[in-house]
Amino acid sequence: MIISILGIRGILLNRRNILIMSMPIESMLLAVNLNFLVFSVSLDDMMGQSFASLVPTVAAAESAIGLAIFVITFRVRGTIAVESINCIQG
């Protein structure tokens, strides 16, 4: 629970750089993974442990896609500051 709160707090306090904003998201994924493991052991069920083995795969895919977006944004805009990304129109 504490790791989740720190992750939410990290997103809310660090709104200058997108790369720094992505780090608390990873810590929240870690908190979810720990919750899966703890409840799996306490309930004596293997389903939580199987989900916990899939979470790193999702985290790796999210990191790869996020870094690709960061690189493209930096090439186009010259910065990855959040203020410049707010003006992107769809």
CATH of the domain at 59: 1.10.287.3510
**Is the pLDDT reported for residue 71 higher than 60?**
yes
User: Who has greater pLDDT, 88 or 78?
Assistant: 78
Closest CA to 20 of 34, 29, 10, 28: 10
**Is the pLDDT reported for residue 83 higher than 80?**
no
Quote the number of domains for the chain: 1
Residue 62 to residue 49: CA distance in whole angstroms: 21
At 17 the three-state DSSP class reads: strand
Query: Domain span at residue 3?
Result: 1-89
CA 17-59-11 angle, to 5 degrees, is 30
Q: pLDDT tens digits, residue range 14-27?
A: 777 777 888 888 88
What's the whole-model pTM score? 0.69
Question: For residue 5, what pLDDT is reported?
Answer: 86
